[in-house]
Chains A and B, each alone.
Chain A
Amino acid sequence: MSDKISDLFGAFLAGRVGRRELLARASQLGLGAAAATTFLNRTQSQALAASSYDWKAQSGQSIKLLMNKHPYTDALLKNIDAFKSLTGINVTYDVFPEDVYFDKVTAALSSRSSSYDLFMSGAYQTWQYGPAGWLVDLNKFIHDTSETSGDYDWDGILPNLRSATAWSGKPGDALGGPGAKQWALPWAWELNSIAYNKRILDAAHMEPPKNLPDLIEMAAKISKDVPGVYGIGARGSRSWATIHAGYLSAYTNYGAKDFDTSGGKLVPTMNSKQAKDFTRLWVEMLQKGGPKNWTTYTWYEVANDLGGGTSAMVYDADSAAFFQEKGTKEAGNIHYHAFTPNPDAHQPTPNVWIWSLAMSAFSKHQQAAWKLMQWATSTQQLTLGATKADLIDPTRQVVWDNQDFKTRMNGYPGYLEQFAASSPGAKIYFTPQPLFFNVTTSWAAALQKIYSKQVSVDDGLDQLAHDITAQLENAGITD
């Protein structure tokens, strides 16, 4: 019996058997779904171990991870025993909620602590950590065949994401451009798009919005006509996250940029004509169809309102809506929609967030840490996370093309379609520079003032550009 099971899983790894067939035949052999998954993990680990790459080279070492409390983390930790048995490396970890997570990371790195060997990071954070000398440039591992398994398909990671996590450190240089250092490995990501409550839109006899003017009209009408419901949710707190999500995605679609780098130095362009025209529309959308206390809105409020049925649509991360699909009032009513805000644009331009894995420059077990990084971002692990856990925005196209993943995600109407339409234009649209968090926080504060009518759009954005110029000069970035 056990030979038959081994043969079956071997055939699956060789691609001769699909996952559904695998599970059906495993069930016939008396193997339950959970046992089949365990067996599959073990077989995959054995297959990796069978390659010529020495997975056991650092056996006996111990590494420590610093992770954010997130479904993606749960997906990784769920299978961490397979990594331990594959490599003989002991893994411990600390998991902190996102509210305090980056404080912990920054404290550990700035104190040159060797407590943690690798950690989760966003691409924006690497613009601060990398040039400070706190991160390892992963190129030294990726392109070293003695350090990286031949099975590791680096080029299989979506190109925009590989670029987004690589930067030269020179303010204004393009991400992934010449001389870029690979500060992190893309692991999972999310793109900003529209998710809507089909029940509410159906009741209002509405179709998903075609563009931003259409969205403004729909949101205003819903807020006015549907009791207890407002039209569109978007982030509005005084934080970088307010700019990063829907705002920058639509801003880019209207042809606006954050900085002009053509003259060889950073010049803020948040007060360009395109930026002002777009911001006028954005603020109008929020004033007519947004939440009443928009200036306090973070990821959580936006997502909760969609799940709780108090917002009809959200312009935010696709995963924020996805995580409202279970245990909420509106679970099952949430649909996804690719969104091109500018009526004259041809495709969506979602700004993205990339949960990546980065290695501390102070780690004393860098080779062992690298083993975990390549294992966690391998096709096998991302496929497992995407099909068996909630790693629902994998960074490899091959996982998006996986039939089991497609079958699973077909249960969430529009999810795959919005990804297919949005993905080609999805990338980081910010200009990389080390004052990212200061600049974007000032930007969010300016939007709040405009929203509350303390200043006009023109004055608010002119003042913002002036303030940012001063910040850059003070930091010696534009000299």
Chain B
Amino acid sequence: MQSPAFRVVRALLLLLIGIFFLFPIVWVLLMSFMTNVDILRSPPSPFFVPTLRNYVALISGHLSTSSGEVQIDYMHNLLNSVILSTCSVIVSLILGVPAAYAFARFKFRGGEDMAFTLLSFRFAPPLLVLLPLLGYFQAIGLYDTYFGLIWVYQLITLPLVLWITRGYFEDVSEDLELAYRLDGHSWLSTFFRISIPLARPGIAAAGLLSFIFAWNNFIFALILGSSSVQPVTVGALAFITASGIEYGQIAAALVLSVIPTLILAIFTQRYLVEGLSLGAIKG
């Protein structure tokens, strides 16, 4: 039995830890409702008259700065991020999940080397491959296209999907699959009806992580595309100009850019839990 004093101290400590970790997020949220003058006030104050002008500016595309009216295209950047990240993850799942299953289930010549090669994409710093890639992309017409960026994003998302889901497939008992196949089901049917549902938590985690990594990518989109295909990571920098930093708009842009990832995380969480409970009976 825990004493009341212990429970109070524990609650206080948890509260402090919560405040410590949540403070930056809360402060960004508050900043998104402040004017630049409020944000730059010294010392900073949590008391201010809230304004929606930062969100209005982002959504309408008209930004009032100290040097006049500026057109911004942040919502287009947001749409680009959604397109690039979603498509990249879908392509990676389509390619990576069967590949991960094959690497987990079958031993074949050069298999480990191939898997390691795919993983090694994560080792190489993007800057190392960017200039040759830029040359190729311009030569074959992929520069400044969604297709080209989704292709190059596979360097980020495919290894993650492959290596995370491979581990989950290795944990799925082969006996379960064999039992199902002995009932007369095909190999493909076994893969879709037994292996994938059992590996669902891994697939969900890999999909979510890949999405976050793709969403946060900056350098590929910067160099391999122009403003028409660029995501929020590049677009958000437009609020840093020679005439000043629009902190309010940056905060509002940050809040808006978190929403899709947050929705996906909440959505995926359900599958993670479901997958884990399924996993409880597999052994």
Residues of A near any B CB (own CB < 8 A): 68-72, 74, 94-100, 103-104, 107-108, 110-115, 228, 299-300, 303-304, 307-310, 319-320, 323-329, 389-390
Contact = CB atoms under 8 A, between A and B. Distances in A.
Nearest to B65: A327
Interface of B: 36-37, 40-43, 64-68, 70, 130-131, 134-135, 138, 143-144, 222-223, 226-227, 234, 237-245
Contacts of A329: 37, 40-41
A192 to B, nearest CB: 14
Given A94-B227, A100-B234, A111-B131, A71 B241 contact: yes
B223 A389 contact: no
A308 B41 contact: yes
A299 B242 contact: yes
B237 to A, nearest CB: 4
Contacts of B67: 71, 74, 323, 326, 390
B66 A328 contact: yes
A10 B227 CA distance: 39
Contacts of B43: 228
A97 B241 contact: yes
Say what secondary structure dominates the interface of chain B.
mixed
Contact of A307 (B40, B130, B131, B242): B40
Contacts of B238: 69, 95, 97
B65 to A, nearest CB: 7
B240 A98 contact: yes
Nearest to A301: B245
B36 A107 contact: no
A68 B237 CA distance: 11
Contact of A103 (B222, B239, B240): B222
A308 B244 contact: no
Contacts of B42: 228, 308-310
A115 B40 contact: no
Nearest to A112: B135
Contacts of B237: 96-97, 99-100
Contact of B134 (A96, A107, A299, A310): A107
B131 A70 contact: no
A306 to B, nearest CB: 11
A70 B241 CA distance: 6
Contacts of A389: 68
Given A100-B222, A100-B237, A323-B243, A74 B68 contact: yes
A319 B241 CA distance: 12
A104 B66 contact: no
